[in-house]
């Protein structure tokens, strides 16, 4: 495995840290979508 940390006995160590980069990516995309759609939802066209 590329970038894996090997233990002294040759077994792979388990990384206990959660990978938060995909979570941050999804949150940024959702933030951008909301920033674009909120002004369109607020403005109304009078008929």
Distance CA 27, CA 32 (A): 9
pLDDT value at residue 6: 58
Please identify every stretch of the chain with a pLDDT value under 70, giving residue numbers as ranges: 1-10
The two three-digit tokens of residue 35, written as one number: 């920033």
| Residue 30 backbone dihedrals phi, psi, to 5 degrees | -65, -40
pTM of the model: 0.55
Helical residues (DSSP H) of 1-47, grouped into ranges: 21-42
Residue spans per domain, the chain:
16-47
Is 1 in a helix, a strand, or coil?
Answer: coil
pLDDT of residue 9: 66
The whole-number pLDDT of residue 21 equals 92
Can you give the pLDDT at residue 3?
57
φ, ψ (nearest 5 deg) of residue 21? -65, -45
Could you give the angle at the alpha carbon of 24 between the alpha carbons of 2 and 28, nearest 5°? 135
């Amino acid at each position: 495995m590329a970038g894996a940390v090997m233990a002294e006995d040759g077994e792979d160590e388990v990384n206990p840290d959660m990978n938060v980069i995909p979570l941050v990516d999804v949150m940024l995309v959702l933030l951008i979508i909301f920033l674009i759609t909120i002004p369109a939802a607020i403005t109304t066209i009078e008929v």
